[in-house]
């Protein structure tokens, strides 16, 4: 068992609606979660690290900044479920960027709290388990995803903080705002959930009014607000406006908070398997 575990690469992928964050041993990575159709360009483009031509299962796509710029269909998918082809492409692209060819993978990814159900986790595992061959910018790699765990976004980041006392973790994402109430390292399901709006689904609203919406919804769910820890790419600017409603701290690594927590969860799972 120990030898088999040593051969597997542990990779955490937070496939957010705005960006895909990746954490593995000794590496972290980010690219925009934008996918669109591929087309031949008439004007030469100097491709950056976040410009990708992806080929998978007979289809060719643009992924990243080039999809936003050059694909007619290039967009962030804001549907409720994450168990769909876009997530698969983003996860496999993430693996391609940080792993060698023919790698065996233990993947930890996440779902918003309200979607963290047995059925949705099963669909995510069925989507990602197995052998996958993908070409990114001309380089072909095959991955063998032998294990998938689906963590709860936001709540897992709260667990990883190891912070005593009661506090709320708030993750203001593009489609949803997740919140998890933590009490001495344990999350409280009754006081945790997902708000059905996000930074890129609420139109024509200032960040200060968005913070007010978050405070109003959070207080509706949990009552009197305990200290709040903000995670996500907009944590720092949001904190400036949210602190008038509650005591607010910004996570020390807000953009990678979920991905890093997913990785820690995977490490713990491997330690448990090794001990058996």
pLDDT in tens, 14-48: 998 889 999 999 899 999 999 999 988 877 788 88
Fold of 155-250: Nucleotidyltransferase; domain 5 (3.30.420)
pLDDT tens for 93-123 read 999 999 999 999 999 999 998 889 999 999 9
Q: What is the phi-psi region of residue 190: left when phi exceeds 0, alpha when psi lies from -120 to 50, beta otherwise?
A: alpha
Q: Which residues contact 104 (CB under 8 A, 6 or more apart)?
A: 7, 8, 9, 143, 144, 146
Residue 70, H or E segment? helix 65-70
What pLDDT score was predicted for residue 78?
Answer: 53
Equal fold, 2-39+49-152 vs 155-250 = yes
Give the integer Cα–Cα distance in Å for 165 and 73. 46
3-state secondary structure 205-249: CCHHHHHHHHHHHHHHHHCCCCCEEEECCCHHHHHHHHCCCCCEE
Q: What is the tens place of the pLDDT at every residue in 156-173?
A: 999 999 999 999 999 998
The model's pTM: 0.92
Encode burial over 188-207: b for 16+ CB neighbours within 10 A, e otherwise. Answer: eeebbbbbebbbeeeeeeee
Domain boundaries, the chain: 2-39+49-152, 155-250
The CATH class that applies to domain 2-39+49-152 reads alpha beta
Tokens 């713990």 correspond to what residue?
A: 268
> Would the pLDDT of 49 be above 50?
yes
Task: Return the DSSP state at 185.
Answer: T
Beta pairing partners, 274: none
Element (H, E) at 86: helix 85-98
Q: Report which of residues 73 and 49 the model is more confident about.
A: 49
Share the mean pLDDT of the chain.
Answer: 91
Geometric angle at alpha carbon 107, from 185 and 110, rounded to 5°: 50
């Amino acid at each position: 068992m120990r030898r088999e575990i040593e051969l597997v690469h542990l990779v955490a992928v937070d496939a957010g609606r705005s960006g895909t964050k990746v954490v593995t041993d000794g590496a972290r990575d980010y690219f925009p979660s934008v996918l669109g159709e591929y087309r031949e360009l008439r004007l030469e483009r100097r491709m950056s690290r976040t410009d990708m031509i992806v080929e998978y299962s007979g289809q060719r796509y643009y992924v990243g900044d080039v999809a936003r710029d050059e694909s007619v269909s290039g967009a962030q998918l804001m549907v409720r479920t994450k168990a769909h082809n876009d997530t698969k492409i983003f996860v496999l692209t993430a693996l391609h960027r940080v792993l060698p060819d023919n790698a065996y993978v233990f993947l930890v990814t996440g779902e918003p709290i309200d979607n963290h159900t047995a059925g949705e986790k099963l669909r995510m595992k069925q989507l990602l388990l197995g052998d996958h061959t993908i070409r990114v910018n001309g380089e072909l790699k095959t991955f063998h995803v032998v294990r998938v765990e689906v963590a709860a976004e936001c709540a897992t980041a709260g667990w990883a903080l190891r912070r005593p006392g009661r506090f709320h973790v708030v993750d203001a994402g593009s489609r949803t705002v997740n919140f998890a109430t933590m009490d001495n390292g344990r999350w409280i399901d009754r006081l945790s959930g997902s708000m059905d709006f996000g930074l890129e689904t609420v139109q024509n609203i200032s960040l200060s009014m968005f913070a007010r919406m978050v405070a109003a919804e959070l207080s509706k769910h949990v009552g009197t607000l305990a200290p709040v820890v903000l995670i996500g790419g907009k944590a720092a600017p949001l904190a400036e406006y949210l602190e008038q409603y509650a005591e607010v701290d910004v996570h020390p690594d807000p953009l990678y908070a979920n991905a890093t927590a997913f990785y820690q969860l995977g490490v713990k799972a491997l330690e448990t398997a090794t001990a058996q």
